[in-house]
């Protein structure tokens, strides 16, 4: 039995969780999310708690059932936290001439290439950008869906990954890059 999977999920006030035909739906003040659950996992909702159990009669191998047990509990917990509190990721652009602007969910990046990069964000994500004098450009992304938010952050980061020699690129706020010294001067 999974250590994570056997922990119950407490449902906060203002959040409703329903389970029907192996689909769990979570509704809250920040939105609504759904997740399909493997038939080898049994979901029960009672007394403001969601519990997960393994169906011993299913034909899925035992090791796979144990893996699903913890996985689906973690995914549903992320959904409950997302619709009640939401998730927030903060990025900064480190580099001379790096800029970012947004018009609604359309973002424009200037990252040292010969052309600007445009990305249309999904409607579920709220974006805020700041450009202040003597500070790095700042991006704040908020969403109820943790998976979607992480995927969008990874996509934005892939436009200019942080490099170890000068420390330039798209970084999470407060992230430390391990620096390399580069060529050693005058080695004879």
Q: Taking CA 157 as the corner, what is the angle to CA 153 and CA 159, rounded to the nearest 5 degrees?
A: 130
CATH of domain 87-172: 3.90.930.12
Q: In angstroms, rounded to a whole number, what is the distance separating the alpha carbons of residues 52 and 72?
A: 8
Give residues with Cβ within 8 angstroms of 81, minimum separation 6.
87, 146
Quote the pLDDT of residue 183.
83
Quote the pLDDT of residue 60.
87
Q: Going by CATH, does the domain composed of 9-84 fall within 3.40.190.10?
A: no
Give residues with Cβ within 8 angstroms of 20, minimum separation 6.
none
Q: In angstroms, rounded to a whole number, what is the distance separating the alpha carbons of residues 65 and 80?
A: 22
Q: Which residues of the chain have pLDDT under 70?
A: 1, 185-188
Quote the pLDDT of residue 188.
54
Domain locations along the chain = 9-84, 87-172
Report residue 7 CA to chain centroid gap: 22
Q: Is the pTM of this model over 0.75?
A: yes
């Amino acid at each position: 039995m999974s250590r994570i999977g056997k922990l119950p999920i407490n449902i906060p006030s203002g959040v409703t969780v329903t389970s029907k035909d192996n689909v769990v739906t979570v509704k809250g003040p920040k939105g609504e999310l759904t997740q399909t659950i493997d038939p080898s996992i049994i979901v029960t909702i009672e007394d403001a708690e969601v519990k997960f159990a393994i169906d011993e009669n299913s034909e899925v191998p035992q090791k796979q059932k144990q893996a699903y047990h913890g996985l689906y509990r973690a995914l549903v917990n992320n959904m409950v936290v997302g619709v009640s509190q939401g998730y927030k990721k903060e990025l900064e652009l480190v580099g001379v001439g790096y800029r970012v602007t947004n018009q609604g969910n359309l973002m424009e990046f200037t990252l040292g290439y010969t052309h600007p990069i445009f990305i249309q964000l999904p409607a579920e994500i709220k974006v805020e950008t700041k450009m202040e004098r003597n500070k790095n450009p700042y991006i704040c992304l908020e969403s109820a869906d943790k998976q979607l938010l992480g995927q969008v952050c990874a996509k934005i980061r892939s436009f200019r990954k942080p490099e170890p020699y000068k420390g330039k690129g798209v970084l999470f706020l407060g992230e430390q890059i391990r620096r390399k010294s580069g060529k050693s001067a005058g080695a004879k």
